[in-house]
Amino acid sequence: MVTKEWQGTAEGAAHAGRAPAQPVVSDRLDGLFGGLSARKRVIASQLPVSMTILLVVLAAAIFSPETLANNLFLAALLFHVAIAVACIATPWGRLPMGAFAVIPLLDCVAIGFTREAGGPAFSVLSMMLVFPVIWLSAQVRPYMPVLAISGTILGVVVPAALHGSPPAGGSMIRTLILPLVMSVIAVTAHVVATTIRRQRMTLIENEHEMARTLDESVRRQCLLDAVLKAVGVGVWVVDAKGNTVLANRAMRSDPVLADVIGSTGGSGAAGGPGLLMSADRSTPVMLHQLPAARAAAGEAFTDELYWAGPADRQRAYSVSSQSFPPSGGQEGGAVITFVDVTSLINALAAKDNFVATVSHELRTPLTSILGYLELVLDEPGHEEIQEELLVVRRNAGHLLNLVNDLIAVASERVDLSLEETDLARLLAVEVDAALPKAASSGLQLALDAEQPLPGRMDPKRIGQVIQNLLSNAIKYSPDGGLITVTGRRRDAELVCTISDTGSGMTGEEQEQAFTKFFRSARSRETAIPGAGLGLSVSKTIIEGHGGSITLDSEPGVGTTVTFILPAS
């Protein structure tokens, strides 16, 4: 198992990426030669010829002393000395770039004179032409190999002509073969030098590009490190087996989350049984449902609630996970985030408690008001204010229904009185009741339901659901629209849909449609009345029956709400 804290990664990457390799001898020589001045480079290039001539003089002094008494041989040696002095004394940096070419050309002539003056015993000196030929051919300019070949010809023809040797026999063979061989060497040397130079430039460019890429990678890594250290969100990276790879400071500084990391098992059983609790705060999360195990299995999830810690100090965490595939020879894994939402959960609970308390306190006087209103309406002598009393009763009843909805939403449950009921009859009753309001808005209301649709349900509560959905469809549909109510039996389920051709909802609004007190942007802009409780209460009622409710909508097209109940 590999476990480490998310720190120092940028520095490690920098050191790892910039560790220099041991330079080879050729690189050292190349770097040394490249740092020399123009004069020193010419001297260094001339050094092989000068050293070879010095060795020739030493060999002649030992094995052929009479040769050193030959005036022509001495003159040839003085020619070499003069060339060496010219290399040292000439300010090559002030001359044109190709001016140095005169030195290897003179070397070719001097080598030819030395060979001719030394006689047959020194014919092997022709091999020295390789030095000036390679010197010239290795240059980048394309005419340099031509100069090298010309120098070879001069080194053969000029000394022979001045010496008076007839161009026949061995002399003729040397006159033809030697320049040809040197021509091949010149062309080969130029091609090889050009290829090496081109490859070297490519390597240098690649090295610079790699250096830039590394610098950018280090910069990004430093930025990522800074972000991960600054954010208060716990970030946990696991591999494909659920083992910890990286964890930021927020993850490790939280004692509860540190325990989750510390108890990671090789099978992805991070946290172990009993360390994390589900949303009900009491049910231990099973091994295969732990965040690391789910992430290792490739599952992506968002904002799932987990509780952790001792019972008297439990903390709530919103957990999300996103996997990443293998890349660059590295195995894949997942990034898991832990956001501490304990304060938010407590605030929501306090709000719900407040709403429930206030609602209970309001329901008692409202019930009393409605009771006394019924008594007043039943007593004679109030005929002249009968209409006003009915308005009071209707609004008090509406307010009592709103209070009941608030209580249901706050407690997230409703009291149900289940009995055998025909859903088709309920749909017909509620559609008939909504027809006047739909007609006043210029809407058509159509019912298409199978007969019968028996189920065990609370007729009053299911009627409330149908009322809420029809009310929303009417409020959000333009004049001339169509509202369709359908009821079908599907196997052991009763499926009811209410569709309208209204304004519809965006994707973001659909995600929040069943949230308490949510109002769409259009309802706020057009001042459509409502408290944002209808869908939330309907969801609570339907789920209390063991059913489900869904919403599908498209802006400008309409909305379809479907709820499903168990059939008898």
What is the per-residue pLDDT across 223-235, written as a single tens digit (0 to 9) for each?
A: 877 777 777 788 8
CA dist 151 and 128 (Å) reads 12
Q: Is the pLDDT of residue 532 over 70?
A: no
Q: Which of 21-30, 73-82, 116-125 has the highest mean pLDDT?
A: 73-82
| Stretch among 251-260, 433-442, 512-521 having the lowest mean pLDDT | 512-521
pLDDT band per the 50, 70, 90 thresholds, residue 21: very low
| Stretch among 33-47, 368-382, 427-441 having the lowest mean pLDDT | 368-382
Burial pattern 522-542, b for ≥16 Cβ within 10 A else e, equals bbeeeeeeeebbbbbbbbbbb
| CB of 148 closer than 8 Å to CB of 136 | yes
pLDDT band per the 50, 70, 90 thresholds, residue 6: very low
Q: Residues for the chain: how many in total?
A: 568
Q: Is the pLDDT of residue 530 over 60?
A: no
What's residue 170's pLDDT?
Answer: 52
| % of the chain residues with pLDDT over 90 | 22
What's residue 32's pLDDT?
Answer: 60
CA dist 492 and 566 (Å) reads 6
pLDDT band per the 50, 70, 90 thresholds, residue 30: low
Stretch 250-258: mean pLDDT: 82
What's residue 27's pLDDT?
Answer: 56
CA dist 212 and 205 (Å) reads 10
Read off the pLDDT of residues 371-387 as tens digits, 9 standing for 90 and up. Answer: 878 888 878 877 778 88
Q: Which of 338-342, 414-418, 505-509 has the highest mean pLDDT?
A: 338-342
CA dist 455 and 250 (Å) reads 52
Q: Is the pLDDT of residue 106 over 70?
A: yes
CA dist 286 and 278 (Å) reads 9
Which amino acid would we find at residue 126?
S
| CB of 473 closer than 8 Å to CB of 497 | no
Q: Is the pLDDT of residue 251 over 80?
A: yes
Please name the residue that has the structure tokens 């605030």.
347
Stretch 50-78: mean pLDDT: 90
CA dist 1 and 44 (Å) reads 59
Stretch 296-301: mean pLDDT: 85
Does 251 or 423 have the greater pLDDT score? Answer: 423
Q: Is the pLDDT of residue 4 over 90?
A: no
CB atoms within 10 A of CB 192: 13
Q: Residue 560 is inside which H or E element, if any?
A: strand 558-566
What's residue 502's pLDDT?
Answer: 85
Read off the pLDDT of residues 194-239 as tens digits, 9 standing for 90 and up. Answer: 898 899 899 989 999 999 989 988 888 888 777 777 777 888 888 8
What's residue 519's pLDDT?
Answer: 61
Helix pair angle (9-18, 170-230), 10° resolution: 180
What's residue 225's pLDDT?
Answer: 77
Does 225 or 531 have the greater pLDDT score? Answer: 225
CA dist 508 and 11 (Å) reads 42
What's residue 303's pLDDT?
Answer: 86
| CB of 145 closer than 8 Å to CB of 153 | no
Which contacts (CB < 8 Å, 24+ apart) does range 525-530 have? 528/475, 528/476, 529/475, 530/472, 530/475
Q: Which of 88-92, 259-263, 506-510 has the highest mean pLDDT?
A: 88-92
Q: Is the pLDDT of residue 420 over 90?
A: yes
| CB of 413 closer than 8 Å to CB of 451 | no
Q: Is the pLDDT of residue 281 over 60?
A: yes
| CB of 296 closer than 8 Å to CB of 245 | no
Q: Tell me what percent of the chain is helix, strand and coil, each rounded to the nearest 5.
A: 60, 15, 25
Which amino acid would we find at residue 420?
E
Tokens of 190: 């130029």
Read off the pLDDT of residues 327-375 as tens digits, 9 standing for 90 and up. Answer: 766 778 888 888 888 888 888 777 767 766 776 677 778 888 888 788 8
Helix, strand, or coil here: 100? helix
Stretch 258-279: mean pLDDT: 60
Please name the residue that has the structure tokens 């389920």.
493
The upper half-sphere exposure of residue 85, i.e. CA atoms within 13 Å in the direction of its Cβ, equals 6
Please name the residue that has the structure tokens 């190709």.
98
Considering only CA atoms, which of 203, 119, 220, 122 is closest in space to residue 163? 119
Considering only CA atoms, which of 408, 295, 277 is closest in space to residue 342? 277
Q: Is the pLDDT of residue 17 over 80?
A: no
What's residue 90's pLDDT?
Answer: 92
Q: Is the pLDDT of residue 504 over 70?
A: yes
| CB of 111 closer than 8 Å to CB of 155 | yes
Q: Which of 34-43, 96-105, 363-372 has the highest mean pLDDT?
A: 96-105
pLDDT band per the 50, 70, 90 thresholds, residue 409: low
What's residue 173's pLDDT?
Answer: 59
Burial pattern 44-77, b for ≥16 Cβ within 10 A else e, equals ebbebbbebbeebbeebeeebeebeebebbeebb
The helices-and-strands tally (H runs, E runs) of the chain is: 18, 13
pLDDT band per the 50, 70, 90 thresholds, residue 18: very low
Give the residues across from 548 on adjacent strands: 564
What's residue 368's pLDDT?
Answer: 82
Residue 282 Cα distances to 274, 276, 290, 345, 514, angstroms: 9, 9, 15, 16, 26
Q: Is the pLDDT of residue 274 over 90?
A: no
Q: Mean pLDDT over all residues of the chain? A: 81
pTM for the complete prediction?
A: 0.46
Q: Peptide bond before 478: cis, by omega within 30 degrees of 0? A: no
Strand 301-308: give its sheet, edge to edge. 244-247, 234-239, 333-340, 315-324, 301-308, 276-277
Q: Is the pLDDT of residue 245 over 50?
A: yes
Does 49 or 287 have the greater pLDDT score? Answer: 49
| Stretch among 182-196, 229-243, 313-327 having the lowest mean pLDDT | 229-243
